[in-house]
Amino acid sequence: MTQVIARLPAIPGHEPDDGFYLCLFCGPPPQGGPVMATLMVGDLAPAARGSVTLTGPSAADPLRVDLGFYREPGDLRRMREAYRHAWTLARHPAFAATVEAVPAPGEDGELEERLRATTFSRLALTGGAAMGPEGAPGAVVGEDCRVHGIEGLRVADLSIVPVALRSPTALDAMMIGEHVAALILAR
Ligand SMILES: Cc1cc2nc3c(=O)[nH]c(=O)nc-3n(C[C@H](O)[C@H](O)[C@H](O)COP(=O)(O)OP(=O)(O)OC[C@H]3O[C@@H](n4cnc5c(N)ncnc54)[C@H](O)[C@@H]3O)c2cc1C
């Protein structure tokens, strides 16, 4: 009733990569007040990679999570174009009856500032304990999800996925859990 998602095959002006989604939410803002429509723009194929690093030797030491947004300049260019495309859609006559005003994207610099200030994660993080051959850079688990170099330990969650997924991730997480459970039972 309140959320519509569209997936486009490409960010306008870029090679097709299934990386662009639009999400329309309608409802009152969390703090109350009149109903608002929010159009969210997402890039599921960013070139930049973040990192998760230990800050100390103890399990109680917090992890340092760096999402690495816009570290690759091409990502910012893609998002600017995606944002402007979303803006064009939001001004379509079909929305005119219900949407009073749509703030303009502005010049590149202004838009960049807005994007840097408002971009957030879709909470579908992957790759913290990536799968790969033993000795390969960043590889933590092998193809059977066993941790390289540690006897009797497997990882069975999204952290083993070595790439960013271009879809919501819950089903992948369930699939990995079921697959590894079957592997363990088959031993
Ligand atoms: C707010 C939010 C909304 C989301 N919405 C969607 C959605 O609409 N659709 C969708 O597909 N996906 C959605 N996701 C993403 C999806 O929920 C996650 O990708 C998925 O749950 C990840 O599963 P996981 O098993 O890899 O990790 P998690 O679900 O994070 O499970 C990891 C588990 O490990 C436990 N753990 C951590 N450290 C230790 C330790 N040292 N010892 C023992 N246990 C430990 C944690 O307590 C946790 O239970 C959303 C995520 C969030 C946060």
Three state DSSP letters for 108-175: HHHHHHHHHHHCCCCCCCCCCCCECCCCCCCCCECCCCEECCCCCCECCCHHHCCCCCCCCCHHHHHH
Q: Which residue has the higher pLDDT, 150 or 25?
A: 150
At residue 115 the predicted structure's pLDDT band, cuts being 50, 70 and 90, is very high
Q: Identify the pLDDT of residue 124.
A: 87
Q: Which long-range contacts (CB under 8 A, 24 or more apart) does 62-68 make?
A: 67/121
Same domain, 99 and 133: no
Same domain, 112 and 127: no
Does any ligand 1 atom lie closer than 6 A to the CB of residue 157?
yes
The pair of structure tokens assigned to 103 is: 């703030």
Same domain, 30 and 44: yes
At residue 113 the predicted structure's pLDDT band, cuts being 50, 70 and 90, is very high
Write the CA distances from 186 to 28, 79, 177, integer angstroms.
51, 46, 14
Examine the fold and report which residue of 118, 152, 176 is the final residue of a domain before the chain moves on.
118
pLDDT at 80 over 90: yes
Gap between the Cα atoms of 103 and 171, Å rounded = 36
Same domain, 40 and 109: yes
Same domain, 99 and 148: no
Q: Which residue has the higher pLDDT, 69 or 164?
A: 69
Residue 182's domain comprises 123-187
Same domain, 34 and 12: yes
Whole-number percent of the chain with pLDDT over 70: 99
Tell me what the pLDDT averaged over the chain comes to. 91
Examine the fold and report which residue of 101, 118, 135 is the final residue of a domain before the chain moves on.
118
Q: Identify the three-state secondary structure at position 75.
A: helix
- How is residue 10 annotated by DSSP? S
Same domain, 141 and 95: no
Does any ligand 1 atom lie closer than 6 A to the CB of residue 125?
no
Closest residue to atom 21 of ligand 1, CA basis: 170
At residue 72 the predicted structure's pLDDT band, cuts being 50, 70 and 90, is very high
**Residue 82: in which H helix or E strand, if any?**
helix 73-90
Same domain, 91 and 10: yes
Q: Give the count of domains, the chain.
A: 2
Sign of the Cα pseudo-torsion (90, 96, 97, 98, in order): positive
Mean pLDDT across 3-16: 87
At residue 1 the predicted structure's pLDDT band, cuts being 50, 70 and 90, is low
pTM across the whole model: 0.81
Does any ligand 1 atom lie closer than 6 A to the CB of residue 60?
no
**How many residues belong to the chain?**
187
Q: Which residue has the higher pLDDT, 99 or 129?
A: 129
At residue 125 the predicted structure's pLDDT band, cuts being 50, 70 and 90, is confident
Closest residue to atom 8 of ligand 1, CA basis: 168
Gap between the Cα atoms of 121 and 123, Å rounded = 5
Same domain, 162 and 187: yes
